[in-house]
Every structure is written in structure tokens, then in C-alpha cells.
Structure 1
């Protein structure tokens, strides 16, 4: 399994997205003794179920990919990529969907306006392109289903589609996961 300079991994719930990102991180760590890898987690423990899910993911990751460090960053993702990217350091972002949720629908108040969200997406894509080390980004593809009810949910689905398109355009590889199987959508590696 070869690691691209940047890869977007999209898929539905439990499609194998995170597992592919972990396999890439494991391959990166094994490729050279000086390699490092960090998972940038964007999820927040809003409730008991989410806290338990985060703890389970941390435990499972530690078993599957020893040596993969974890950093939590719910909002300032472009700045986090810029601060931590190094040629010998793979960054895994899991996941873009939760990052956008944090920006649009924060638990403690009103989300960012659309123009600020668009600028945040531009900053993210610029940080991906400028990253001196490899970056793997995980996100959900939720635009294949029915049109959701409710203005806010439709706005979220639309913005997530724009985010996914922008990130895919800025990455050297884009992969769609389904049933645990990768389908390469783009590979400029």
C-alpha cells in the first residue's frame, strides 16, 4: 500500500474509510525508521454515546496501529495541518464531516455564516497543498441518498458536497470506499 502526497478517502458509514487511513499510516510507519504519524481527530464528546465511541476508536487504533499518535482539533484544522506537517510525518484527519459539523452546528451556539465556511474550506485546501508531508483526509459521502428534510440539513449536505469537491481537487489521490473496498477516483501520485 503506497502513501500518496495527499489522499481524500470518502465513503458511507462503516464503509472502511478509517480502516484504509489506518492501513496507510501503518505502511508509512513501517516504511522508514524515522517516520512519524499523527491522527488529527475532529470529533467532540457531545454526549455519553459519543464519549464511548471516541474511547473505543482510541483503543482499537492503538491496537491496530501502534505508534500512531492522536491530536484533537475540532475547529482550527488548516492551522493544525500547517503546524504539524513535516516531510517525515504523515497526518491523518478523521474526519472532515465532523469538522464541518463543528463549524456549522456547534453544540454551544450558532454556526458560521456560509461565506466564512467557504473561506475555511479555501484555507483547508491551501494547507493541504502547502503541507510538506503526506496528508490523508477521511470524510463521509452523504450526497447519494434522498434529499433531506429541513433547511439546515440541506445546507449541511450542500456544504459537505462543496467541501468534498474542493478537498478532492487539492489532493493527489481520491478514493471512494464501499463494503471495505477502495475505488480510486483520482491518482496523480
Structure 2
């Protein structure tokens, strides 16, 4: 990854290698200069025992693979987190947009929120970032149409979120079986 401000959206299915690619980019960024920093903005929330264990495993694995990357947990105020941590010498990794959208649309407490304004704010933050931003999101619209109204609404909203973020990112990569396929690259 070059030192110029660059943004990348990494899409793929579950266990496709999305997070690994984001970690690889962070490690390459950190290795390129001693002045470089990397911050992971994690959006997942530990609502049950399985998710708590998953988050703990991700923390351990990330610390091993990218020891210089700091982690910040932010399940909702994602645009604000990108703005707060973005700097010319800092790479911001967001993992993941899918869980962020879940937190907005299906909160454990309170009423579901409309993702339009937060999505606009996030795209604005990406577009005005002072340093590189790498975002991870699931591509879930390739299968059958879900039966439930709420699930269909979520699939539609995630597709819209991914399209909007892809528009503001310089690069979009689709991961499948651990292999990257470049969908967009504006150098």
C-alpha cells in the first residue's frame, strides 16, 4: 500500500479471507515505515458466549499477526471513529461493516435505526480521511432471497451500504477462498 491516502473496501463471504487481507495490508503499512501506525476499529458486540469467545479469539489472532496494530471497539459511531483515528501516518481498519449495520438495524436494546444517515456520515468520513482506510464487509446477496421481511430488508440495506462505500473507495477487492479479486482500482 502506498503512502498516499487510499481507501479499500474488502468484500466476501464468511471465512473468505477478508479480515486476513485487511491484517496483511496493516502489517505491510506498519513495516513500510517506523512512523506508521495502524488502528483496528472493531464493530462486533459480545451478546452471547459464542460471540464473546469469537471476539477473544480474534483479539489473540490479531495480536499475533499484527502486533503493532491497536484495537478500538466502536459498535455504532463508526464515522466518528474513522474521523478520530485518521491521520496521514495512520491506517484505519474497520472490521466489519456487516456487524455495524446489524448493530444499527437490530439493536439488542432500543428501536431499530435507519442506516441512511450513518452510512452517509461514514462515506463522508472515508472521503475526508487523512490517511488510508481499509473496510471489511460481507457480500451476502449472492444466494437465495430470504423468506423473512426483516432479513430481506437487512440484505437490501447491506447491499446498499456496500455500494455506497465502494463508490468512495479507491479500491474494492472481492475475496473468495482466500484469494483477492480486484473489482475497482483507481490509482
Same fold (TM over 0.5): yes
SS at match of 2:21: helix
Counterpart position of 2:112: 111
SS at match of 2:113: coil
In angstroms, what is the RMSD of aligned CA positions? 1.1
Residues 1:85 and 2:86 are matched in the alignment? yes
Counterpart position of 2:128: 130
Counterpart position of 2:182: 184
Residues 1:174 and 2:172 are matched in the alignment? yes
* Residue 149 (structure 1) shift: 1.1
Compute the TM-score of the two structures, normalised by the length of structure 2: 0.97
Any conservation in 2 of the 1:2–1:27 contact (CA below 8 Å)?
no
Stretches of structure 2 lacking an aligned partner (at least 5 in a row): none
Compute the TM-score of the two structures, normalised by the length of structure 1: 0.96
Distance 1:177 1:2 in 2: 21
SS at match of 2:107: coil
Distance 2:23 2:179 in 1: 14
Distance 2:117 2:17 in 1: 30
Counterpart position of 1:70: 71
Any conservation in 2 of the 1:9–1:136 contact (CA below 8 Å)?
yes
Stretches of structure 1 lacking an aligned partner (at least 5 in a row): none
